[in-house]
């Protein structure tokens, strides 16, 4: 899963990026509104954390630009101003949630998991299929209760597929959602990760749809 962090305060931006990477997310950052607008329009993200008070272009305008262009990614807005009108304007612009600075990192992470779950139609933090479970809160993956070890890229790939069960996902889309902007996704590498995952999870969970991509089969 890939997250866009838009924050002009360097220390907070670094804290957010570090916390997200520790949770297994791929992270891209922007420090001003113009770069944020461009990234949100040109790249694929599973969610964005967006500060309202940005240089060059304010966060509300960035968000309006994304929504006008049809971008539906979940967005959490951050504001240093404990002002109800700022929160209302952000939500009216298309935000899914908000936090007022200062905030606890655990609360932000919980809200992020929540907006991603809602956007993909899931109601709990634990995703399960055929004895395979992924806990989005702890980052643990288990098979019939026994924890397995995954690399960061394997975890991101599995997480994306489990958030989109029974959907055919092509290699390009998988690459866009597990690599940050400064890493160039390679279709052959995706095949390698899929192969490694298949050795660690139950047979038949990840299906190759010839010529189209991969599907995580969820019998429900």
Same domain, 50 and 65: yes
- Asked if residues 133 and 116 have their Cβ atoms less than 8 Å apart, the reply is no
Same domain, 99 and 139: no
5, burial (CB in 10 Å: exposed 0-12, middle 13-18, buried 19+): buried
Structural tokens at position 88: 């209302």
Same domain, 131 and 200: yes
CATH number, residue 84: 3.40.50.2300
Candidates 47, 11, 51, 54; CA nearest to 28 is 47
Q: Which of 67, 88, 119 is a domain's end point?
A: 119
Same domain, 203 and 114: no
Same domain, 7 and 102: yes
Other beta carbons within 10 Å of 136:
24
Same domain, 7 and 106: yes
**What is the pLDDT, as a whole number, of residue 75?**
96
**What is the pLDDT, as a whole number, of residue 4?**
98
Q: Which of 119, 147, 170 is a domain's end point?
A: 119
pLDDT per position as a tens digit, 80-112: 766 677 778 888 888 999 998 889 999 999 999
Q: Which of 92, 119, 146 is a domain's end point?
A: 119
Give the 3-state secondary structure percentages of the chain, helix then strand then coil, rounded to 5: 40, 20, 35
Same domain, 144 and 194: yes
Same domain, 28 and 76: yes
pTM for this model (two decimals): 0.79
**What is the pLDDT, as a whole number, of residue 167?**
93
35, burial (CB in 10 Å: exposed 0-12, middle 13-18, buried 19+): middle
Q: How many domains are there within the chain? A: 2
Same domain, 108 and 40: yes
Tracing tokens 């262009």 back to the chain, one arrives at 69
- 3-class secondary-structure state, position 80: coil
Same domain, 63 and 160: no
The domain containing residue 91 runs over which residues?
A: 2-119
Peptide bond into 102 cis (omega under 30): yes
Same domain, 139 and 192: yes
Same domain, 98 and 133: no
pLDDT per position as a tens digit, 115-150: 998 888 877 888 888 889 999 888 899 999 899 999
Q: What is the mean pLDDT of residues 13-25?
A: 95
């Amino acid at each position: 899963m890939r997250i866009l962090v838009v924050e002009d305060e360097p220390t907070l931006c670094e804290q957010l990026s570090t916390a997200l990477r520790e949770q297994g997310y791929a992270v891209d950052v922007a420090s001003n509104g113009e770069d944020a607008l461009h990234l949100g329009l040109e790249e694929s993200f599973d969610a964005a954390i967006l500060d309202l008070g940005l240089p060059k272009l304010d966060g509300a305008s960035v968000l309006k630009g994304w929504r006008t262009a049809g971008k539906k990614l979940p967005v959490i807005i951050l504001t240093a101003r404990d002002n109800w009108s700022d929160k209302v304007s952000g939500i009216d612009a298309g935000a899914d949630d908000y936090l007022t600075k200062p905030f606890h990192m655990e609360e932000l992470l919980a809200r992020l998991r929540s907006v991603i779950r809602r956007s993909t139609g899931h109601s709990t933090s634990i995703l399960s299929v055929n004895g395979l479970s992924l806990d989005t809160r702890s980052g643990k993956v288990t098979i019939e209760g026994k924890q397995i070890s995954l690399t960061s890229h394997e975890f991101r790939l599995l997480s994306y597929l489990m958030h989109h069960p029974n959907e055919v996902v092509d290699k390009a889309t998988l690459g866009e959602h597990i690599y940050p902007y400064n890493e160039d996704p390679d279709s052959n590498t995706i095949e390698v990760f899929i192969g490694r995952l298949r050795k660690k999870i139950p047979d038949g969970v990840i299906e190759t749809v010839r010529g189209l991509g991969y599907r995580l089969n969820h019998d429900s």
